[in-house]
Amino acid sequence: MFQLPLAEQMLFLVVIGIYVLASGTAAYLIYRSGPRCRYVLVAMVALAVSLESAILMFRAVEIKSIPLTGLFESLVLMALVFGLAYLAVSIAITQVWFHAVGVWTLLGLTLLAAIVAQPASRIDPVAKTPWTIAHALSMILGGVAVVLSTASAILFLLCDKRLKQKQLTKVLGRMPTLGRLEQVNLWGLQAGFVLIGFGLLSGFGLASVRTVMLEMTLTEWITDPKTVMILLGWLVLGLVLALRHGIRLKGKAIAYATLVAVFCILFAMVGARIFCGTKHDFSTTIAASIHTPIRGRV
């Protein structure tokens, strides 16, 4: 994170500080909730989203392109879109636990971005093609949908546990209903399945026609750890949706399956790069590109 340019570094540190403060505030409000408590968290998230937009604007100006080619930018954009989704849904869902899980999720995404933060990457021409931009956007938006579904699944499991323990005072008025949480969970799974499916299809198409520019064959693309983990997560999403219509799978089973899917997808984005040496990484920092071939990340 401290490799970032000073302006981006300062903005990003402020974003982290806001989400840490918001997370602590959420924990406090769970025990001291008032009728207007949610507005405090909404204001904090709105400010953090604005600063994340500024970071992406700095990146766009620096690389003179849409900032979608780096893992850091992708995670910042995921946090930004999830923050916007949180702000939109908060109009209808007012329970304090929903807001708490929302800001904790935003903090988690931001910390993941901090782990992989690096200076802006130079853009290869292949990364500017419409299919590449569509591929990156669909994967990011699909990831956001699955993360939203995961937040709902976690809250569903917590609410279900407390209801079974007959802790009604910790549920009524403080958590959304199980039915609403299940709806949000399913919506996220469906949206994630469609978006990630399109992202995989466009990625395979890109690899098949741009093998020379990507310096990867189609076989290498398909068997890359990052692609394998994303594909596994996507298949889990499809299996859950199929079983829901086939044997009426619902409730806790869907929630647990959602956790498996999000683990695969987030590991593909971050873990594959750190632990598996993925080749699905087509970027080089601007400083380093003076001495190395220019590549762009999809």
DSSP state of 67: S
The CATH classification number of 1-120 equals 1.20.120
pTM (predicted TM-score): 0.81
Euclidean distance between CA atoms 104 and 37, whole angstroms: 16
Annotate 248-287 with b (16+ C-beta within 10 A) or e (fewer): ebeeeebbebbeebbbbbbbbbbbbbeebebbbbbbbeee
Please state the φ and ψ torsions of residue 121, each to the nearest 5 degrees: -100, 145
Across 105-234, where does the E strand assignment appear?
A: none
Q: Identify the pLDDT of residue 243.
A: 83
- Residue 296, Cβ neighbours under 10 Å: how many? 23
Q: Identify the pLDDT of residue 295.
A: 39
Q: What residues have CB less than 8 Å from 13, skipping those under 6 apart?
A: 1
Taking alpha carbons only, the member of 117, 115, 49, 116 closest to residue 86 is 49
Sign of the four-CA dihedral 178, 184, 187, 192: negative
Euclidean distance between CA atoms 40 and 29, whole angstroms: 10
Q: How far is CA 228 from CA 199, 231, 256, 292, in A?
A: 13, 5, 21, 28
Q: What residues have CB less than 8 Å from 142, skipping those under 6 apart?
A: 191, 192, 193, 194, 195, 196, 198, 199, 265
DSSP state of 121: B
Q: Identify the pLDDT of residue 176.
A: 82
Q: Where are the domains of the chain?
A: 1-120, 125-281
Euclidean distance between CA atoms 136 and 209, whole angstroms: 17
Euclidean distance between CA atoms 135 and 68, whole angstroms: 10
Do the domains 125-281 and 1-120 match in fold?
yes
Overall CATH class of domain 125-281: mainly alpha
pLDDT tens digits in sequence order for the chain, 298 residues long: 667 888 889 999 999 999 999 999 888 888 775 545 678 889 999 999 999 999 988 888 877 767 766 778 888 999 999 999 999 888 888 888 888 899 999 999 999 889 888 876 665 555 566 777 787 888 889 989 989 998 889 988 888 888 887 877 766 767 888 888 888 888 889 999 999 989 888 777 766 665 545 555 667 667 777 778 888 888 888 888 888 777 777 778 888 888 888 888 877 777 666 666 565 555 544 333 333 333 333 3
Residue 166, judged by CB atoms within 10 A of its CB (0-12, 13-18, 19+), counts as exposed
